[in-house]
Structure formats: C-alpha cells, structure tokens
Chains A and B, each alone.
Chain A
C-alpha cells in the first residue's frame, strides 16, 4: 500500500526536478543539453500510444517539405564521419518508413509515392521485402491493414546510439528546424526508443546487426540477461541404456569390430554439464526397436566417413548421392529421405504424396485391401486437399508426417501406407513440419505466423509459439529435443523453450526470409539460410553471430544439413548446386577473424558482382557440386556421413 502511495509522489518529484533543471539550463544558456533533456524526458513520459491519430494534428503545410527534409538528412548522413555512419544509419530506414506512412495518413498519396520512389533505393538492399509490402499503400486504411506498416506504427523502434553521435544528430536537427527538423524530432520522440550507450569497442557484434532494426519486444529480449540454456545432449533413459550396453557388450565379445562398441556408446551418450534432466521432456516408454536403433547408430558411428580438415592439410569431402526426380511437371514441392535412406517421399502440388522405395524392394502393405494393385516399389498417398509443402519421416521410419495448404498435418503409417490422423489447429496453410529427435513430438510452421508443437497421440497442439511478425517458414528441433527453432519471413530466427512455451532467443542477421535451418549435432550452433542466398551461423548460448557464409547464386537456399560430427555443413538451393562448408574456420578459433566487410559493404559488393561477374564466396566454401538443371530441394546426411540430395529435374 505504501509503495503505491509513494510512486506518484516520486513521479511528481521527478517532473518538478526536470522543470527546475530545465529552467536552470535555460538560464545558463546550455541549449543543447536542454534540448537533449527535453527529448529524453519526453520520451519517458509520453505514453507509447503513438498512432495515426496524433499525426493528424500536424499542420498540412508540412507535407510537401517531407521530401526536402529527408533529402537534407540523407545528405548530412552521407557526409558525416565514417565512424558515426553505422549508428546514424539505423535512423534512416525507420524514419523513411515513418515519413512515408505520415504522408499517406495526411492524405497525400501522390507525394508519398514520389517520396518513396525517390528514397527507397538506398534501403532496397536490406529491406526489399518490407519495401515490397508497403510499396502499394495508398490510403490510411491500408496502413492499418498492412502488417509491416503496423509493425512500425505500433512498436517503438529501438536504436542504440552513442552520446556523441546523438549529440551530432540533435545538433543537426536543430539547425534545420525550420525546414522540417522538428518533424524528425517529433518522429523520433514518437516512434523510437533510444538507448544512449557509449559505443562498444570495435569488432563487437552489435555493430553489424544493424540490418534488422529491432522493435520493442525484440529489444527487450536482446537486452535481457541471456538466461542460461540447457544445450547438452539428452541423457539416455537408464533402462534403455542398460539394455543397449548389454547388447553392445555381447557384440563386442562375439563379433569383430575395429573399436570396442560399449565404451564408444558410453562416450557418445555421456551427459554434459548443461544437459537437461532425463524427464525434462516426457517420452513414451522405449521399445525393443529403440534398442536396435541405438545399437545400429553406435555401429554406424564406427564406420563413419571422416570429414573436414581434422589435422590434415587436404580436406576430406563427403560423397553425395543425388536422386533426381523426373516427370514432376514442376509440381513437386518437397522431398524427404528416411533416416536409414531406404525411403524417399515427395510432396506434390496436386495434393498427393509419392513414396519411393530406394533399394528396389516392393512396398507391401500390411492391410490386404491396400495390396490390390499388386506390390510396387512406389506408393501414392492420397488424403490432402491442397498442395503438400512439408514432409518428415519419424526417426524409426514407421510413420511419415505431411503438411499442406489445406491447413492440416497428416500422419501416415509406413506399414499400411494409409493416413492415420489429420491434425487440425492452424488457421492458414502450413509450410513446414518436423519430427523431434526422438519421434513422438513434432512441430509445424504456418502462414498464420505461429509455430505449434504437437505429439502424435493428441489431435490438438500442445504448445502454440506466437511472436513472429510474419509467416513462420521453417522449423527445426534442437538435438536434445528441449528447444525448437523457427525461421520466419520477418528475417529472424527464434528459439523456443518447448517445455515452457516461451521464446528464449532471437537471432537476427538475414536480409530476406529465412528458408532453412539446421542445428549442429553438439547443440551449440544454429545455422540459418535465407532467400538472400547467405548462410548465417550463431552461437546459441551467447546469442551471437559467428559468421556469414556466402557463395550461393541468386535465389533461396532450400535445405541445410550438418555432418554427424558437425565438422561440415552441406547446403543446397535454387542455384542447382550442393555446397560444402567448413564449420571450423572462423568459428572455433579463440579470436575468430573478423568478417572481411561489414554487412553493408558485403551487400553492395554483391550487387556490383551481379553486374560484373562472379559471386564472391567466403573462405570456408569447401566444395561446390553442380547439377544439371536440377534445383536441389533437400540434403541429408546418413549416419555414415554420406550425403543424400534430392531435387526435381526441370527440363
């Protein structure tokens, strides 16, 4: 009770104090300090309602000066010192969008268009998606409907800036106050939340994250002390472990293997200091099949091809088996391989799923009625009523999940080749589905801007992960199954705690929608690829970007896969190539070499390259394998480190 009483008093006291200080400053003639204090104090006191209503109060006469003001600002920005440019550049894009929105709200669509055309060029590189989305806005009503515009209107844009740079900006804005500087100050007041902080030492990662302007909630997440995560491997259930060990010891005794299997299994499954508890994610009781699978994994791991540099000069590169699909009439949307590489599945725009047995065996259904056509090595799974966009085999390959434009996920049995369940919960087409590392659980990504967690034995979702500001494009589980990663068209990757259902990390750094995700087998790194043809690696625990890998041709990257030990990454995409990347270079060293250019430079360089000639690749680009006019949809490593790649031949 007492605290509630004192708080308003404290506030009043603060206002009083501000007034006294301002008077003092005014008297002494410290105009800049005064302006800054006014700005700062108004920021903390103005409620964050900041909407279209406010702008209407602005005199119309200002409308035609917007372009002039922005031009002045841009000119000043370009002529300012290099060391302040990155900081100041963070203002430019949000200001551009806000001024455009204001012009629309003032009912000046023509002027707004002119303004947009004149200044959009400098932002096209990093924000082409957003620009596309707001380009067509003509009426105030559109502003309220457009998700991108709403993002700007309803959330404050968090900008971190050093005191010196802020002083410079303020000074400049005051000097052009008569020609619209006040408009900009007002916009900054209304829509920005400034974090005035001395500039960090050069080379810190915050510098290059400027391509994504942080919005309020992201900012809080970013700023909040990073909660420790449990990224260690999932400990094996003690009963299962005992059985597997018994089998392996028996094998060690009776069969000849190069390495002792039992100690190897112990080594592979040794819990780490940050491993989650065994029962962190409840799983059904293990079956004999699980024991078999675990034993096979250990045996495979001893026969695995060694990849990467190791201690040698010459890198060991993987072998790639390419499955080319013909007669698809460009209708095939996705491919998946089962973990033991005996089955392949393809999702088609014509609502069906095709299954292929890859070893030449026949697919016998255990239901007699399903075998009426005689056994064949292909099966057509019919059940969806819209294009199939995602496929995922369960780790035990007994079931297959498919997701579709018809807003459902279907579970198919690989014993009977029939549909078992249709999971309904999403309200829009579903883009991606992925089984968890131990089966049972799966996750979906949808056009309705949410991701959901399901278990195969419930027809409703267990968790709904909401937070992305655009479509969720892809999902990927952490190897220990406790976390989920989602990549979105809002250019971010989010990490969710499966048990608690909350977002624990946001990774930014892409210039386009995120199209593919992969988590390293040791669970320390997350890798995302986007439509901007770049691959970005982050350290999960620190939430920091480690490196950016370039080399893919124009167009989205469709799939990423880590080798079993995580030494190399394989990617594939619309440029009809499969590429191999060295994961150790520039990530493992104590002081990773700084990326040669910051993001902005890199981008402009690439644009030039497109005009001129080659696409530059980063130095961790180990190999490129070109296909014949076959965009590669999926890459996957087998447990022996062989790469399976699949794509549809487009004649």
Chain B
C-alpha cells in the first residue's frame, strides 16, 4: 500500500549486492536495511540539490551535469564519465523467480586506438542571435519569427498558460465603448420592411392590385395564416397581424419606430394615418419576441403627440381615445422599469392643461391622458386647478364653432373627475355642470 515501502531499496537486496561486489560477503540484515534507508534518503537529497541547478540553468530536464553539480555541493566526489550529450540507455534485466528488476547502463566500450585515429569532430557553431519584433504597441506582427495562433492552440493548456487578456478597461466602472459598426440588415428583412410599409401607408385599402401582391407575399411568409384569409382582410390588417405575431423582427424595430415618428410628425392632421401608426406601435408592443422597452423614450412622445395634437381632421376624438388607452397600457407596463416615466408624463400633461391657448380638442386629449394616468393624477392636475381653468375655457366653449368640441371636452371632464375620489370631486363636478 505504501509506495515508499516497496522501492528498490526496501528489500535491501541491492545493498547486499553492492556490498558483495565490493568485497563484503555477508552483510547482516539490520545493517543492510539501515543502509538501504539511508541510501534512499541520500538519493532524495541529491535530486533535490540537482533540481536547483536545473532551475538556475533554466532547463526543464534534469541532466547528468546537474547531478554532478549537486554532488559537488554536497561535498561528494562527482561521478565522472557521464555527460549530458549522450542519452543514457538502460537495459532491464530480470533475475529469476525473485522478479528483481535491475537496470543496467549500457556502456559502450571505446577502442582507444580507434578514437585517436578518428578525425576531430566538427567545432560546434558559435552561439548567435537574431532580433525581431515580438510585439509592436501590443500587437504581434504576423512574421515567421512569431508563432501563429494555430501553433499555440495545439499546445498543452497548462504549459502555454492563459491566452485571455483584458486590454480594455471594460472591467472597470467606465461604460463599454461600442465600435461604430454599421447596422447590417439582411436583404430579406429589408424587403419585408418595404412591403409592410407599403401595405400600411396605402391610402385606400381597396387598392386591389397592390393589396393582392402584398397579400400573397405576406401569406407566403406566414402559411399558417392562410385559414384566416376567408374574410379577405385588407393588406394593412395582415401587415399589422404580421407585426404582432412574427418572430425575428427585433432587428427592424428601430426602423419601425422611426417610421412611426416620421409619419406622425408629417401627417399630424390625418386621423387615418395616425391610427395606423398607433396600430403599428400597438402591434409591436404586443409582439412577444420584440422588446420595445429600449425604445420607450421614442414611442411615448409619438403617442403624446397624437394625444394632444392641436388639429386633427374631424376632431380626432377616436384617435385620441386610442392614444390615451395606449398611454395607460405603456405606463402600466413600463413604469416599474422607468421610474421617471410617470412623473414626466404628469409634468407634460399639466403644462398642456394649464395652457389655455390650446384648442379644445387638444384639451380633450389632455384630459383623456390625465385620466389614463389614474385618479391621483386627475386630482392633482384637473380637480385642484379646475376653478381657475374652467372660466376662460368655457368662454371659448360658448363660441358656435367650438360647440362640438366643448361638449366632448365636458363629457371627458365629467368622466375623468367622477373616477377620482368623491370627497374631493363634488365641487368640481358642480363647476363643470355650471359651465354648461
């Protein structure tokens, strides 16, 4: 069980054999045992010393020269006749049934006559040096003197050491720097984007030729939607459906967001387009595979713009309602992540509410938006400010041209206020009804 216990020396036969060889015939067991143990220790000692010489010679193999040096240091006559140039060959010899293994150094006998006659061996070459750039400002030039990556990879990992380096301060507190790489989008996605945009922006959904072509294209993309085509949905509906359900759109998300931004700012009076754009946002919000969270700072202003837009053809009450409900769902979903979302919305709406130069339609949108933010916000913005606000507004409301808008606004006000806690709202409701 013990490795040491069964070394060459433990049986002390070797000691006896050596003793016989130098003319001591019968060595007692005790003596040979003690000798064996001592010899083993001395061997360890010599190897220990020899290792030091190996280390300082910056070699990784122990040579006979190291052993000689170690013996010298230990004050023992070194063994002559062994040199490192010739690899030592040992022959195993098994002796009978005892199974004792001996290792015999194969020493060649050299004929002196012959050795003298031999021509003198060549002088070894002079040590020389070559110089090259191992690295230029931290980069290893690809020259023959430097190893290439493949050569290093095949080395044993424990020998070659770590090849992982940290040369940027990413690990520090500083933000990560992203290289300026152009955002590449595959051709298929580009085509898809163009088709979707075309389908969405068509003025007349009944444009058959265009609709069909888009239709087939999208159906190709989504064979499982085939069954739903019975009612012949417009290409716009299919496009929105695709946005809502298709996976793999995350690369296109910024482009859609940008499209919405552009469209809303250019066609701010067209309720149809505004609605479509809100539809796009809605679809993206509902798509499970797209994370819109990182675009919230772009989406929210769009929704707000629609909500408080000064003039939309026909008042745009429906679109504003739609925007308000979308605002509600966005706030509900993202305010835990963006803690400043709600306060910022509140501030913006309050500013708009107190600006009595705004059109009544716009005020309607604001009231709807405030309502969407919840009863507390309604209290703070509307109820507390109502007494001062209602007078100038109701004056405008008396005008003939504003009648329709005024009635919408009043309904919205009543609705919003009635959702707030009753104790605070009684007076406000009275104010609204008085302003009729």
Which residues, 113 to 143 on B, are CB-close (under 8 Å) to A?
Answer: 124-140
User: CB < 8 Å: which of A110, A314, A610 contacts B168?
Assistant: A314
A555-B60 contact, Cβ under 8 Å, with A315-B167, A317-B167, A324-B145: yes
Which A residues touch B73, using CB under 8 A?
428-429, 447
A142 CA to B139 CA, complexed, in Å = 54
Residue of B nearest to A315 (CB): B167
A556-B41 contact, Cβ under 8 Å, with A320-B135, A327-B127, A327-B128: no
A625, B124: Cβ atoms closer than 8 Å: no
B158, A326: Cβ atoms closer than 8 Å: no
A356 CA to B126 CA, complexed, in Å = 12
Min C-beta distance of A510 to chain B, whole Å:
14
B163, A136: Cβ atoms closer than 8 Å: no
A326, B130: Cβ atoms closer than 8 Å: yes
Chain B, residues 190-222, CB within 8 Å of chain A (1/0): the string is 000000000000000000000000000000000
Q: Is B91 an interface residue, CB under 8 A from the partner?
A: no
B138, A623: Cβ atoms closer than 8 Å: yes
Which residues, 1 to 37 on B, are CB-close (under 8 Å) to A?
Answer: 1-5, 34, 37
Chain B, residues 160-173, CB within 8 Å of chain A (1/0): the string is 11111111111110
A429, B133: Cβ atoms closer than 8 Å: no
A320, B164: Cβ atoms closer than 8 Å: no
A471, B5: Cβ atoms closer than 8 Å: no
Chain A, residues 51-90, CB within 8 Å of chain B (1/0): the string is 0000000000000000000000000000000000000000
Binds A, one of B43-51, B225-233, B371-379: B43-51
A645 CA to B45 CA, complexed, in Å = 35
Q: Is A321 an interface residue, CB under 8 A from the partner?
A: yes
A627, B165: Cβ atoms closer than 8 Å: no
Min C-beta distance of B121 to chain A, whole Å:
14
User: CB < 8 Å: which of B44, B147, B162 contacts A551?
Assistant: B162
Q: Is A114 an interface residue, CB under 8 A from the partner?
A: yes
Min C-beta distance of A33 to chain B, whole Å:
42
B147, A628: Cβ atoms closer than 8 Å: yes
Min C-beta distance of A146 to chain B, whole Å:
8
User: CB < 8 Å: which of A313, A314, A323, A489 contacts B129?
Assistant: A323
A354, B127: Cβ atoms closer than 8 Å: yes
Q: Is A180 an interface residue, CB under 8 A from the partner?
A: no
A348 CA to B59 CA, complexed, in Å = 12
A509 CA to B292 CA, complexed, in Å = 52
A625-B157 contact, Cβ under 8 Å, with A110-B5, A137-B41, A489-B52: no
Which residues, 503 to 555 on A, are CB-close (under 8 Å) to B?
Answer: 513, 515, 531, 533, 550-555
Min C-beta distance of A574 to chain B, whole Å:
6
User: CB < 8 Å: which of B1, B53, B159 contacts A554?
Assistant: B159
A346-B159 contact, Cβ under 8 Å, with A136-B40, A555-B60, A623-B135: no
Binds B, one of A184-192, A416-424, A613-621: A613-621
A645 CA to B135 CA, complexed, in Å = 11
Q: Is B297 an interface residue, CB under 8 A from the partner?
A: no
Q: Is A626 an interface residue, CB under 8 A from the partner?
A: yes
A553 CA to B162 CA, complexed, in Å = 7
Chain A, residues 107-136, CB within 8 Å of chain B (1/0): the string is 001100110110000000000000011011
A553-B158 contact, Cβ under 8 Å, with A325-B127, A617-B165: yes
Which A residues touch B64, using CB under 8 A?
none
A609 CA to B161 CA, complexed, in Å = 11
Which B residues touch A334, using CB under 8 A?
58
A423 CA to B127 CA, complexed, in Å = 28
B129, A138: Cβ atoms closer than 8 Å: no
A315, B138: Cβ atoms closer than 8 Å: yes
Min C-beta distance of B173 to chain A, whole Å:
10
A313, B161: Cβ atoms closer than 8 Å: no
Which A residues touch B163, using CB under 8 A?
614, 624
Q: Is B56 an interface residue, CB under 8 A from the partner?
A: yes
Which residues, 54 to 80 on B, are CB-close (under 8 Å) to A?
Answer: 55-60, 65, 69, 73
A387-B57 contact, Cβ under 8 Å, with A322-B132, A323-B131, A621-B162: yes
A625-B5 contact, Cβ under 8 Å, with A139-B41, A322-B145, A325-B127: no
A116, B4: Cβ atoms closer than 8 Å: yes
Residue of A nearest to B125 (CB): A327
B69, A405: Cβ atoms closer than 8 Å: yes
* Best-surrounded residue of B65, B126, B136, B160 (most CB of chain A within 10 A): B160
Which B residues touch A336, using CB under 8 A?
none
User: CB < 8 Å: which of B45, B48, B124, B134 contacts A327?
Assistant: B124
Which applies to chain B's interface (DSSP): helix, strand, loop or mixed? mixed
* Best-surrounded residue of A349, A473, A513 (most CB of chain B within 10 A): A349
Q: Is A309 an interface residue, CB under 8 A from the partner?
A: yes
Min C-beta distance of A622 to chain B, whole Å:
5
A330, B40: Cβ atoms closer than 8 Å: no
Which residues, 606 to 651 on A, are CB-close (under 8 Å) to B?
Answer: 609-610, 613-617, 619-628, 631, 633, 643, 645-646, 648
Which B residues touch A309, using CB under 8 A?
169
Q: Is A562 an interface residue, CB under 8 A from the partner?
A: no
Q: Is A442 an interface residue, CB under 8 A from the partner?
A: no
A320-B56 contact, Cβ under 8 Å, with A615-B161, A624-B165: no
A333-B56 contact, Cβ under 8 Å, with A553-B160, A613-B157: yes
B161, A553: Cβ atoms closer than 8 Å: yes
A135 CA to B1 CA, complexed, in Å = 16
B164, A617: Cβ atoms closer than 8 Å: yes
Which A residues touch B140, using CB under 8 A?
625-626
A319, B165: Cβ atoms closer than 8 Å: no
Which A residues touch B4, using CB under 8 A?
113, 116-117, 135
Q: Is B146 an interface residue, CB under 8 A from the partner?
A: yes
Which A residues touch B138, using CB under 8 A?
315-319, 580, 622-623
B165, A621: Cβ atoms closer than 8 Å: yes
Q: Is B400 an interface residue, CB under 8 A from the partner?
A: no
Which B residues touch A610, using CB under 8 A?
157-158
A620-B124 contact, Cβ under 8 Å, with A318-B135, A615-B161, A625-B135: no
Min C-beta distance of A363 to chain B, whole Å:
14
Which B residues touch A326, using CB under 8 A?
127-130
Which B residues touch A489, using CB under 8 A?
52
User: CB < 8 Å: which of A318, A319, A378 contacts B126?
Assistant: A378
* Best-surrounded residue of A333, A334, A617, A624 (most CB of chain B within 10 A): A624
B52, A317: Cβ atoms closer than 8 Å: no
Q: Is B107 an interface residue, CB under 8 A from the partner?
A: no
Which B residues touch A447, using CB under 8 A?
52, 73
Which B residues touch A322, using CB under 8 A?
131-134, 145
Q: Is B38 an interface residue, CB under 8 A from the partner?
A: yes
A333, B57: Cβ atoms closer than 8 Å: yes
Chain B, residues 269-311, CB within 8 Å of chain A (1/0): the string is 0000000000000000000000000000000000000000000
Q: Is A389 an interface residue, CB under 8 A from the partner?
A: yes
Which A residues touch B128, using CB under 8 A?
325-327, 378
A574, B129: Cβ atoms closer than 8 Å: no
B164, A117: Cβ atoms closer than 8 Å: no
A624-B132 contact, Cβ under 8 Å, with A114-B2, A114-B5, A333-B57: no
6 closest pairs, A vs B, by CB?
Answer: A317-B138, A136-B44, A553-B161, A617-B162, A138-B37, A322-B134
Knowing that A319-B138, A326-B127, A405-B69 touch, tell me 13 more A-B residue pairs with CB under 8 angstroms. Answer: A138-B40, A139-B34, A322-B132, A326-B130, A327-B125, A333-B56, A429-B73, A556-B55, A613-B157, A614-B164, A616-B162, A624-B162, A625-B140
Instruction: Give the B-binding residues of A (Cβ under 8 A).
Output: 109-110, 113-114, 116-117, 132-133, 135-139, 141-142, 305, 309, 313-330, 332-334, 344, 346, 348-349, 354, 356, 358, 378, 387, 389, 405, 428-429, 431, 447, 471, 473, 489, 513, 515, 531, 533, 550-556, 558, 574-580, 582, 585, 609-610, 613-617, 619-628, 631, 633, 643, 645-646, 648
- 24 interchain pairs, CB-CB under 8 A: A109-B37, A114-B1, A132-B48, A138-B37, A313-B177, A323-B131, A333-B58, A354-B127, A389-B57, A447-B52, A554-B159, A554-B161, A558-B58, A577-B160, A578-B135, A585-B171, A609-B158, A613-B157, A616-B164, A622-B165, A623-B167, A624-B161, A625-B140, A648-B58
